Amino acid sequence: YGMDIRERDHWGYWNPFSGLYPAPANYFNKRKYNSIDGGNRHAYPDGSDMGMLQSITYPTGRKTELIWEPNTFSKLGLTAQRASISDNSFFETLEGYQDTIAHQTILRGKRTGQILETSCNIWISQSIQFDFSQYYPKGIISEENSDPSFNTCITGWTSNDTIYGPAHLPYVEITFPDNTRQFIRINKYSFNKPISIRATQRGMYKFKLKNPAMEWSGYRPDLCGLFYDIFEGPDCSDCGRININYYTLRSSIAKDTYPTGGCRIKIIKHYSGNDTIIKLYNYSQEGRDPNSPSSGVLTYIPRYGSITAKSYQPISLRPNDCYPFYEAQTPVITLTSHPIPTTLNGGSHIEYSKITENIIKNGHMDPLDPQRADCHETIYEYITSADSDCADIDETEYREYVRADMLKLTSQRYKRGLLKRKTEYTDEKTITDYLYDIPDKWDTPLITGSLFTVGDYVDMHFLNHNCAEYGSVLAYKDYGIVKYRVIPYNKRIEEIRTSGEIKANYQKYTYADRLYSSNNMANAPISYSTIDSQGDTVTLYYTYTRKNKIHTCVTTKQGRIVDAYRNEYNTKSQLTARYIAKLTPNRLPLASSYGLGKWQFITENQNPALYQLTNILTESYQYDRDRLVQVTDETSGVSTVYLWGYNGTHPIAEIRNATFANVTQCIGGDYMVNQLYNSYTPNIDVVNALRSTLINSQVTTMTFKLSVGVTSITDARGIRTSYEYGPFGDLKNIRDLNDRLLQTIQIHYIGEYL
């Protein structure tokens, strides 16, 4: 491949060519326009996975392989659809993105091997390019009226008109499918550059070469005879050749699907020993149809920091006017990217509305085989910039043919990328729909973002014609300013609906604020509803503390309260007490009497009825050095104590039917509690001694291997169970107190080896 990835711009496009090699990215250097290579910024699928992770090999010998493929799209985001050519951000049609196969046919004006007629079938709109650069012998014809040269050997060459006297220059006659015709003269304005025509009709295009060489005459027979000899001689094998370039689509899908920069994951393979599991991803609108268009959406048209210069000719045929149409050069553009405006305007330029995931087992790679793939298929559908009200907003005041120097952009990226539907094929087909509530604050002022270059080339050379419109056009280099509106928003789920052939479910959330709120608890639901196994709607109502902890939770069914609890916390938001409601099944309280779903935060004075309802203390909690050390069951009076080790990361003892004060005294006071807490190798013998001192308590002790897991548990009976791990932290064996093997764990993955 041999091209530095740094030579691609932020879209995955190559920078304009200068000479034989790509020019390195430099957004502020002056550049000249190159009519042949300089404008090509189309996506380059080959090498799109450069720099992407290909495989991971784990110390256990397991391996993961990742296979990538180029991004594609078939739709434009709404912002891109509304882009006007006056935006000057994109001067190409989608034709440039299509996955095509290049074709060439030729005309040949040389007497030897002469080809005066050819044709091609065109089935998709495109530009047909005629290359006249080989027609005349190289180095002996110029576009200047200089002597001595062979220019005068071609009748009409030195004239400013295309027709000189009774003899015509060589020209190509193009007959369109509707039998209309167009002519291209091979003159001093076209002989050294490609000339294009737009082919929008479907059908047969016919090309004829007229006056190929026979009409030459000149004023210098001594020179022109030599010219003719060179043209017809064996040393100029390509003289008289006209290359006509067009393309066809690589596949039927290519008419609707276009490649673009970057790549996406295609296959993930997991290997473990002889077992393999493969995840295959498809990005088409219909995952099983190979001819289905891509589900990709091009969010933005590439925005480049350049202007366009436009030339024209009058179409009048008055004697002193320029010759019309055929001599007119199409608008010339230069594309030099500045990444700042688009980059800051939010996110990737490619989005996918549908992704199909197949989990392939038994080594089969064909997702179209329902016996092998159907039971492991999931289809994900996402919100993209092609959905209404999700595209970004461009408030720039554009002017025709003038590059905007004050961009006003608003990103709505926060509305995109959300899963809106998931379809699963397992033992049944289930469809889950997701609805979102995203209030935002639109009355937000624009803020200044950054500078960018507006035009950054030196000059553009137009036709050297006697009309005043032609000649060198002086370009300018200037800077523009990007202004952004950054929209604050709340993003939260509103409904989840699941329907299946066997089961169905429904979940709904409500929130305290229907409009945008800067409250850090704005995304915390105040109610959650679902359907139970009897088909009744069950709703849970929540209130919170100011530090995002659940304060109260009340469950209702058929208008009655069926469950309720209240949590209380200390200043560090640690749970200190849990209260419940004492409810009688035949006398359940009415939910409407407790102001449920009205407040996100409550106090006892604000809702005394709810406090009185949840007045049964069930558990209390005690902390030491921010670690839970005692839980008391207030209904039975039994407390459970926890001792900590390994620098407070793991509990090393659970003592049931004891208090933290008693345990502390029995093991030697606060000093020993701190020693155990801080040690990475705590003395478990000290803890085990509690079995004999606290004879009415049940003591369970644990040891750990940090970053791996528990290595032993000795229960209240004194029976020890040990756990053994492999060299990479995977649990291998479980043994009893006599070192007898209780269980061996072996991990395998679904599938056979490939």
pLDDT tens-place string over residues 648-686: 999 999 999 999 999 999 999 999 999 999 999 999 999
In percent, how much of the chain has pLDDT > 90? 45
**Mean pLDDT of the 547-568 span:** 97
What is the 3-class SS of 258-301, one letter each residue? EEEEEEEEEEEEEEECCEEEEEEEECECCCCCCCCCECEEECCC
User: What value does the CA radius of gyration of the chain take, rounded to a whole number of Å?
Assistant: 39
- pTM of the entire predicted model: 0.68
pLDDT at 730 over 50: yes
In this predicted model, what pLDDT tens digit does every residue of 272-313 receive, in sequence order? 776 788 899 999 998 777 678 899 998 876 655 444 444 333
Of residues 244 and 260, more confidence is placed in 244
Best CA proximity match to 103, nearest among 205, 184, 17: 205
Question: Is residue 267 within 8 Å of residue 67, measured between CB atoms?
Answer: yes
pLDDT at 330 over 50: no
Question: Is residue 410 within 8 Å of residue 392, measured between CB atoms?
Answer: yes
In this predicted model, what pLDDT tens digit does every residue of 156-183 receive, in sequence order? 454 434 433 445 578 899 999 999 998 8
- What does the alpha-carbon distance between residue 742 and residue 733 come to, in Å, rounded to a whole number? 8
Q: H or E segment at 537?
A: strand 537-544
CATH number for the domain running over 100-249: 2.60.120
Mean pLDDT over each residue of the chain, to the nearest integer:
78
Query: What are the domain boundaries of the chain?
Result: 5-94+255-485, 100-249, 520-614, 624-754
Least confident residue range of 173-187, 215-229, 395-409, 652-666: 215-229
pLDDT at 340 over 50: no
Residue 58 burial (CB count, 10 A): 11
pLDDT at 48 over 80: no
Residues paired with residue 139 on neighbouring β-strands, in sequence order: none
Angle at 362 between CA 357 and CA 364, to 5 degrees: 60
Signed CA dihedral, 656, 660, 661, 665: sign only: positive
pLDDT at 219 over 70: no
- What does the alpha-carbon distance between residue 439 and residue 447 come to, in Å, rounded to a whole number? 21
Question: 8: which 2 tokens?
Answer: 């691609």
Signed CA dihedral, 413, 414, 420, 424: sign only: positive
Amino acid at 342: T
Amino acid at 43: A
Q: H or E segment at 507?
A: strand 504-511
With cut-offs at 50, 70 and 90, classify the pLDDT of residue 554: very high
Task: Read off the DSSP letter of residue 43.
Answer: B
pLDDT at 458 over 50: no
Best CA proximity match to 97, nearest among 338, 265, 344, 349: 349
With cut-offs at 50, 70 and 90, classify the pLDDT of residue 461: very low
Of residues 249 and 531, more confidence is placed in 531
The SS3 of residue 719 is coil
- What does the alpha-carbon distance between residue 662 and residue 67 come to, in Å, rounded to a whole number? 61
Bridge-based pairing of strands 296-298 and 75-76 is parallel
Question: Is residue 492 within 8 Å of residue 523, measured between CB atoms?
Answer: yes
With cut-offs at 50, 70 and 90, classify the pLDDT of residue 200: confident
Q: For tokens 């933005």, what's the residue?
A: 300
Least confident residue range of 111-115, 353-357, 465-469: 465-469
